[in-house]
Amino acid sequence: MKKIWISLIILIIVISFSACSKENQETQVNGKNDAEKIFRIPDFNSVDLNGNEVSNDFFASNNLTLVNVWTTTCPSCLGEIPALQEIEEKYIDKGVRVLGILADGEVEKGKVYISQKDAQYINILPTESLITGFLDGIMYVPTALLVDNTGAMIGEIMVGAKSTEEFSKLIDGILE
Amino acid sequence: MDNLKRRFVQLLSAILGNSYFKGFRDGVIYRGKLKSVCFPGLNCYSCPGAYTSCPIGSLQAITAGIKHQISFYVLGFLMMIGTIGGRFVCGWICPFGLLQEILYKTPLKKIRMKKVFNYGKYIFLIVFVLLLPILLTDEFGLGSPYFCKYICPAGTLEAGIPLAITNMAIRGAIGILYYWKLLILGVFIYFSMKISRPFCRAVCPLGAIYALFNPISFYKMDVDLCKCIKCDLCQKNCPVDIKIYENFNSPECVRCGKCVSVCPTNAIKSGFKNGRSKSDEKNLDIVNYSNNCN
């Protein structure tokens, strides 16, 4: 009987230690620790789904960029593609564009879904800097955020698929 | 004393399985290497405290995925656990079983569940965990984890509510589905106070899988029919309402051992081998079938 208690206590200690050491230092993009520092998307040099080079200079060429993190296995993400395309069309003249980041890097599948919905906005693949400085801290997909021309976040992280109306309201509010 | 031991194991299991405190503090989900291990009981992957994955959630993730496969890894794990002890997980490890037992202690008038509802869990397993994610797909061919999404109250309690409390971004995504899940959780809590283990018996797809192994698991219940006086004290104390002397290893039995401790003639035993050799087994069969005690 005593042996069982001792071995159970040892089990708890061992598991706590082993679990602690496996944890990565994740960038806190959202969550309570980030209250003071404004999050900024790290500099990157990536390619879009067709192989064209895209870097963080993309932010500088827009007033606002709607960054959307998605994967090819997430039904909500795929359902959001038409709304994002509508935003791209509606606001491109006002210097607001959409940048999708395909977090699972599945280029071929991504291209199929994008063309299925006739989406024209740019989707890039993850890079080392994007992963360690941004994507590792993303808990859920789809996650969207608005950034200014330096890549700094404006407003809050948005989790879950949003509609064209919801995005429009946010963008209109900032553009004023 | 035996029930105290079981309570201790249940509590330990619930705490260990959900002890990633950083998750609760920061409103995040652990995503390290331990997540490739399944928890033997029903413990949501998305619980901020959880180190491991839910086997039912994992099954649905694979059946709903674009390839619509069945995860042999998860099924194999469940079969291994089932072969070892059948539904002992339900009685000793699953935190949701513990919750129902605690809720049942509330002094509300108790009602007995009709036996026909025992079949409900197989329907939830086959339809919501296996068939719907494969068959009911969106325009892209992806299914959804229908049990997790529309039904599982464990997910609401362990994941939906803590994440909504601690994570502002999640709060912004709350919609009608969240309220539906809260309603189901409320209904489940109410019925758990009136009926013993209603979820385990009528809904739980994991219990449905383990139930199939009860008649053949290594850890078994056994009743000495010579000693049994059919007083039915076993059934009266049984959390899943079975007459154990009619079906020693019923698919409902969660191996809690209550019957063992209340039987006035010590006719009920449980264990891995019961210390019986092959020849003893043969004799016992003759004794049981011919009603010839001694």
Mean pLDDT value across chain B = 92
Q: Is the pLDDT of residue B133 over 80?
A: yes
Q: In the prediction, which pLDDT does A25 show? A: 43
Domains, chain B, ordered by start: 2-211 (no CATH), 224-250+257-290 (3.30.70)
Give contacts of B34 with chain A, Cβ < 8 Å: 19, 22
B28-49: average pLDDT? 93
Q: In the prediction, which pLDDT does A37 show? A: 72
Q: In the prediction, which pLDDT does A33 show? A: 44
Question: Model's pTM, two decimal places?
Answer: 0.86
Closest CA to A133 of A58, A73, A21, A46: A46
State the pLDDT confidence band at B189, using cuts at 50, 70 and 90: very high
Q: Is the pLDDT of residue B292 over 90?
A: no
Q: Dump pLDDT digits (tens) for A62-75.
A: 999 999 999 999 99
A10-33: average pLDDT? 54
Cα–Cα distance, A50 to B124 (Å, whole number)? 44
Assigned CATH topology for domain A25-175:
Glutaredoxin (3.40.30)
Nearest to B26 among A31, A156, A159 (CB): A31
Answer whether A113 touches B (CB < 8 Å). Answer: yes
Q: In the prediction, which pLDDT does A145 show? A: 95
Q: Dump pLDDT digits (tens) for B55-77.
A: 999 999 999 999 999 999 999 99
Cα–Cα distance, B111 to A148 (Å, whole number)? 61
Q: Dump pLDDT digits (tens) for A141-164.
A: 999 999 999 999 999 999 999 999
State the pLDDT confidence band at B266, using cuts at 50, 70 and 90: very high
Q: Do A16 and B19 touch (CB under 8 A)?
A: yes
List the single residue in A with minimal CA-CA distance to B145: A75
Q: In the prediction, which pLDDT does B184 show? A: 97
B294: number of Cβ within 10 Å? 4
Question: Higher-confidence residue: B79 or A15?
Answer: B79
Give contacts of A140 with chain B, Cβ < 8 Å: 169-170
Closest CA to B184 of B209, B157, B145, B146: B157
Give contacts of A6 with chain B, Cβ < 8 Å: none
Min Cα separation A137/chain B (Å):
9
Q: In the prediction, which pLDDT does A17 show? A: 60
Nearest to B170 among A22, A78, A159 (CB): A159
